[in-house]
Structure 1
Amino acid sequence: MDITRRDVLTTAGGAALALGAGATRIAAAGAAGENVVSKARLKQSVCRWCYEKVEFRTFCKGVADLGLTAIDLLREEDWSVAKEYGLTCSMGSVRAGSIPDGLNDPANHDEIVSALTSAIPRAAKAGVPNVIVFFGNRRPNIDDEQAVRNCTDALGKVVKVAEEHEVTVCVELLNSKVDHEGYQGDHTPFGVQVMKAVGSPRVKLLYDIYHMQIMEGDVIRTITDNWDYIGHFHTGGVPGRHELDGTQELQWDAIARAIVDKGYTGYFAHEFIPTREPLTSLGEAVQLCDV
């Protein structure tokens, strides 16, 4: 694919066969623009950047027709447009640093803290429950221990405004093996150390299942063992970051069920790059995880 998530944030037949008859039924529903959500125990969302080739209003209508209630990683200028279609922005992208330039480096703190302090009240007013920020890439002379302290210091400066406005600052775990070489927050224990040190219900991890499967595996146990520190989820097929289907190594319905059975009330956002008709692929994933 020409487009990558880094680009957006900083500036097939075989799959259907693997899914079997269930995929055919889902595909037909998605293609027809029908609601594929029946149980709705898990609040599912979808990341906009994976569907950049679909015009935004067309995308919003398609997402709403599938039965979803939210879109992830929208810029502030798009929040109100999504709302016209009955959709919440489940994770706001507010230009608070970037994937490589994040919380681990004090040189970035003024910019990140200023962006979050400014954006959080607007997010609350717009009904956006979460905003995203990143740990950042490794720097010379900043080891993990110092990075934890640096991240804690920066996040501590936005706890008050986040708690006052009831908006959660989510810091994302990413893989450094395939997609984001050098990223420091590439394992759950690193992120959990930061969350424990900050100690706020309004600062949580964005646990990206795709990324952490690449780095750690043992997804369900890791999620349940660190439940108190996770505030949001992303999906993506492994390997390849494509559809959640029979070509992937993860059992997505089991993961979704484990999450919802824990009483999760936040959003579970799909972040895979479709290789087939985009909204059909999304509809398949939504129905698979509607447990």
Structure 2
Amino acid sequence: MPAIRQSICFGCFNRGDVTPEQVISEAAKTGFKSVEMLSREHWQKVIDAGMKIAIIGGHGSLTDGLNKPENHDRIEDELNRNIETAVEFGIPSLIGFSGNRNGLPDDEGVAICAEGLKRVTAHAEAKGITICVELLNSKVNHPDYQCDTTPWGVEMCKATGSPRVKLLYDIYHMQIMEGDLIRTIRDNIDYIGHFHTAGNPGRRDMDETQEIYYPPVMQAVADTTYDGFVGHEFGPKGDPIEAMRAAYETCQMG
């Protein structure tokens, strides 16, 4: 059984008096294997600390994304450039976004997103970079976002016909939209390229004040063939470094 490769989302912990250097240093000391979603000026510091950058943004934007054909030229260019950047820095994955529905039927959204992604799948496959379209809740945080359920996301992945298009399965967001986390993860692990965590409600620490019991969820991930990263993306209630360490202990398996 492999250990969970844990990552932190940089911006969640680089707050208050905590410097970028402290975030990176403490992450490495704690046992994290990655720091993700941070500006390019800090990438070499992460690499020098012996960690990877698990994932970065692939294109803009969350609300105005792949489900608009008029965006495809722009997104193709952004993804192609970021695929090359990812190769240069050893970054395995890029984040993609469906965009908001704005009245678009879900079946049409699947087809349009897939067509946009097909423009770059040959490049992604050749370079070994995975595009992870993020699952987000449309109930609380991102009203009208289209990629808001696992079945929709899986259908989109299948429609691209590429093993380099997967989902960023955000456990916090999918708890809000679907629940049934362990079964969903087990049944769809082949289509998941990255995970994010946070406590629900509130998107805060994964402590006893929120409803997701993370150890068995992480055990379910560890019991599959998944070999990617689990990134912590929550707003710490207190000291960011202590919150980082607590998250690591909560989710460490194997």
Q: Do the two structures share a fold, i.e. TM-score over 0.5?
A: yes
Q: Residue 249 of structure 1: which of 181, 188, 211 is its match?
A: 211
User: 2:25: which partner in 1?
Assistant: 61
Q: 1:193 aligns with which of 137, 140, 155?
A: 155
- Per-residue CA deviation, residues 41-86 of structure 1 (Å, 9 max, x unaligned), is 1100011121231321221111111111201212334322321222
Q: How does 1:42-191 map to 2 (within 5 A)?
A: 42-53=4-15, 54-94=18-58, 96-140=59-103, 142-191=104-153
**How many matched pairs?**
251
Correspondence 1:256-275 to 2 at 5 A: 256-275=218-237
List alignment gaps of at least 5 residues for structure 2: none
Q: Which segments of 5 or more consecutive residues in structure 1 lack a partner in the other structure?
A: 1-38
What is the Cα deviation at residue 167 of structure 1? 0.7
Q: Secondary structure at 2:225's aligned position in 1?
A: coil
CA contact 1:175–1:212 (8 Å) conserved in 2: yes
* Alignment map for 1:1-80 (pairs within 5 Å): 41-53=3-15, 54-80=18-44
Q: Deviations over 1:239-277 (max 9, x none)?
A: 111111111111100000000011321001111110011
User: TM-score w.r.t. structure 1 length?
Assistant: 0.83
Task: Tell me the distance in 2 between the aligned counterparts of 1:111 and 1:191.
Answer: 22
Distance in 1 separating the partners of 2:14 and 2:71: 28
Query: How large is the Cα RMSD of the aligned pairs?
Result: 1.4
| Maintained 8 Å contact 2:199/2:205 | yes
TM score, norm. by length of structure 2: 0.95
In 2, Cα distance between the equivalents of 1:206 and 1:255? 16
Q: 1:186 to 1:154 in 2, by over 3 A?
A: same
Counting aligned pairs with the same residue, the percent is 45
Distance in 2, matches of 1:121 and 1:151, equals 21
Deviations 1:93-145 (A, max 9, x none): 24x111101111112211111011111022112100001111111123x2111
Deviation of residue 40 (structure 1)? 7.1
Task: Compare CA radii of gyration and give the structure with the larger one.
Answer: 1
User: Residue 233 of structure 1: SS of its match in structure 2?
Assistant: strand
Could you list the per-position Cα deviations for residues 189-224 of structure 1 after superposition, in whole angstroms to 9, with x for gaps in the alignment? 110110111121111000000000001100011111
Distance across 1 between alignment mates of 2:80 and 2:20: 28
1:158 & 1:78 partners in 2: Cα distance? Answer: 27
